[in-house]
A and B are shown apart, each in its own frame.
Chain A
Amino acid sequence: MTSTAAESPVDISPVMILLMAVACGVIVANLYYAQTLIDVIGPEIGLSPSVAGLITTLTQLGYGAGLFLIVPLADLFENRRIVLTSIAATMFGCIAIALSNGPTSFLVASVLTGVGATGAQVLVPLASHLAASEKQGRVVGTVMSGLLFGIMLSRPIANFLAGSVGWRATFIVSAVVMAMVGVALLAACPQRKPKGGMRYRDVLASTFDQLVKHRVVRMRAFYQAAMFAAFNLFWTAAPLALIHEFHLGHAGIGAFALAGAGGALAAPIAGWMADRRLTRPASLIGMIGLTAGFLLADWTVAAGSLIGFTIMAVLIDGAVQMSQITGQKLIFSLDPHARGRINAAYVTVMFLVGIGVGDRIGHL
């Protein structure tokens, strides 16, 4: 399909929604492969343990910079082209990591991978542009659930592939998958040409302005920054509890993370509620669900219930998704011509605050 969605939505097909969800997941998963495998990679490329932590920091800095510098381009240039360019950047980053023989080339490639991964955040507003207004919430929810699955499954996938074919081949496999996703999007994803007509520096300045101009963007960014920080806190501390309280090993922790990914299934439900204007109750369910999830998780750990702890992991992930999708539905309905900049402002604040407070599942 080569149809063009200028500013009017086309009826996005379920297959296209699924493709976008998968694309978001496989793109974002690249942020976490290297930090998962650092114990194996570090000695081979001469990366000292004290510098190894830089991998996470630089990849995340690259992602944070991309959120602010690249995502707003969705209001300036044809969207599919931005996504395909970012996929190409991530692909080259993966290949460069696989071919690295020293710390410098490895770290530079990690930054490139991080910057390229922001293409996922161009896909999300593109999906909302392509959907009819009464379906936007569900479409965004489904695409975002793919993104969360990608985050949660990245660790077990990296461990499995590295154990089977080695860490270098893991990144080659990822590059091949990225290429396949890129070809599929090129063939099936409609183009979207924004009105444009702005200079890049004006677009960046206008991204800040979205926070000043729209109270709902400020409020939702604050809520989601808190939710994301709590999410990071959970996935940093929970593996420690699993090791010390439940005596699980890496395989058990991986299985726990896989079960926790089930919380992503709350995203389409949140989208369905948002499409029915139930944004306020959906927000409250998400926030109260997160708070209750933590309190009950303390009780389940004290009671020695691994099943109960796993259910709380699903509840916490689902609560974060509920708030995220509701927030994006609200901010995407503000100004279609500024959707890229609005999303950039929202996710940049959320990501920087959330990452500033806690680590994600990298400590699994």
Chain B
Amino acid sequence: MIGSVTYEAGGWTASALAGAAIGGVATLAFLLFDRGASIAR
């Protein structure tokens, strides 16, 4: 859905920026809140 919506709103650039933003949020959450959860035991 969001892929179609963003493309219709602003072409490929809008979709690409939305995808990069999602990746950025995941990366930030990982760096700020993971607190060692992803370290193999």
Chain B interface size band reads 20 to 34
Query: Chain A residues with Cβ under 8 A from B24's Cβ?
Result: 291
Residue contact A233 to B30, C-beta cutoff 8 Å: no
Which residues 17-41 in B have Cβ within 8 Å of A in the complex?
17-20, 22-27, 29-30, 33-34, 37-41
| Majority secondary structure of chain B interface residues (helix, strand, loop or mixed) | helix
Q: Does A359 contact B (CB under 8 A)?
A: yes
Q: Please name all residues of chain A whose beta carbon is closer than 8 Å to the beta carbon of B12 when the two chains form the complex.
A: 237, 240-241, 245, 297-298, 301
From A236, A244, A278, A295, B20 is in contact (CB under 8 Å) with A295
**With A219-B37, A226-B26, A298-B13 known to touch, is A241 a contact of B3 (CB < 8 Å)?**
no
A-chain residues with CB within 8 Å of residue B29 when the two chains form the complex: 219, 222-223, 226
- Measured between beta carbons, the chain B residues less than 8 angstroms from A330 are 37-38, 40
A341 at the interface (CB under 8 A from B): no
Tell me the chain A residues, 345-364 only, with Cβ under 8 Å from chain B. Answer: 357-359, 363
Q: What is the CB-to-nearest-CB distance from B13 to chain A, in angstroms, rounded to a whole number?
A: 5
A235 to B2 alpha-carbon distance, docked (Å): 11
CB distance from A145 to the nearest CB of B (A): 20
Q: Any chain B CB within 8 A of the CB of A294?
A: yes
Residues of A within 8 A of B13 (CB): 298, 301-302
Q: Tell me how far the C-beta of B16 lies from the nearest C-beta in chain A, rounded to whole angstroms.
A: 4
Q: Is A70 an interface residue (CB 8 A)?
A: no
CB of A273, distance to nearest CB on chain B (Å): 10
From B1, B7, B30, B33, give the contact of A287 (CB < 8 A). Answer: B30
Is A294 within 8 A of B3, CB to CB? no
Cβ of A74 < 8 Å from any Cβ of B? no
Chain A residues touching B, majority SS: helix
Cβ-based interface call for A277 (8 A) = yes
Q: Select from chain B the residue with minimum beta-carbon distance to A219.
A: B37
Partner of A237, one of B6, B33, B37, B41: B6
Contact B40 A333 (CB under 8 A): yes
Bound-state Cα–Cα, A304 to B15, Å: 16
Cβ < 8 Å to B, chain A residues 275-300: 277-280, 283-284, 287-288, 290-291, 293-295, 297-298
Residues of B within 8 A of A301 (CB): 12-13, 16
A359 near B1: Cβ-Cβ < 8 Å: yes
Residues of chain B lying within 8 A (CB to CB) of residue A284: 27, 30
Complex: how many Å from CA A237 to CA B6?
Answer: 8
User: Does any Cβ of B come within 8 Å of A220's Cβ?
Assistant: yes
Contact A215-B37, Cβ < 8 Å, known A223-B29, A291-B23, A294-B23: yes
CB distance from A26 to the nearest CB of B (A): 26
Contact among B19, B34, B40 with A233 in the assembled complex (CB-CB below 8 Å): B19
**CB distance B19 to A230 under 8 Å?**
yes
Give me the 10 closest cross-chain CB pairs, A-B, nearest first: A236-B3, A291-B23, A237-B15, A298-B16, A294-B19, A294-B20, A237-B3, A290-B23, A277-B40, A226-B26
Q: Please give 15 more A-B residue pairs, beta carbons under 8 A apart, in addition to A223-B30, A226-B25.
A: A219-B30, A219-B33, A219-B37, A220-B38, A223-B29, A226-B22, A227-B23, A233-B3, A287-B26, A291-B27, A297-B12, A298-B16, A358-B2, A358-B3, A359-B3
User: CB within 8 Å of A: which residues of B?
Assistant: 1-4, 6-7, 11-13, 15-20, 22-27, 29-30, 33-34, 37-41
* 8 cross-chain CB contacts under 8 A: A226-B25, A233-B3, A233-B22, A277-B40, A283-B34, A287-B23, A293-B19, A298-B13
